[in-house]
Amino acid sequence: MDFTFNSETVAFLGMFLILCAFFLETQSIIHSKASSYLLLMAVGSGILAIRAYLIEEWAFFILEVAWFITAMLGFFARSSATNSKKSSDEIE
């Protein structure tokens, strides 16, 4: 069985990750600032950004890069806040 990933398959994977994050958030299963939500959004939009670049869809590329950066900034801000809280708990 010959199994190769084409760009359409990769695009569906990125789209699926983003839609899963959105669905789970709208059903109050995860919060939009949860690490799982932010990682689903970052990975999904990152995949779509790479595909958009490869097929030269520049408006879509810019949109996906913006989503990726926003999700990663949220993820790192959350990680920093968690680490700061752990450090302050250890001091007390």
C-alpha span between 92 and 90 (Å, rounded): 6
pLDDT on residue 81: 74
How does pLDDT run across 39-52, given as a tens digit for each residue? Answer: 999 999 999 999 99
Q: What is the pLDDT of residues 5-37, one digit of tens each?
A: 687 888 999 999 999 999 999 999 999 999 999
Residue 78 confidence (pLDDT): 86
Tokens of 62: 């810019």
pLDDT of residue 3: 45
The residue with greater pLDDT, 79 or 4, is 79
Q: What angle do CA 29, 31, 32 make, to 5 degrees?
A: 130
Query: Whole-angstrom Cα distance, residue 70 to residue 86?
Result: 24
Domain residue limits, the chain: 31-81
Which pTM value belongs to this model? 0.79
Distance CA 13, CA 80 (A): 29
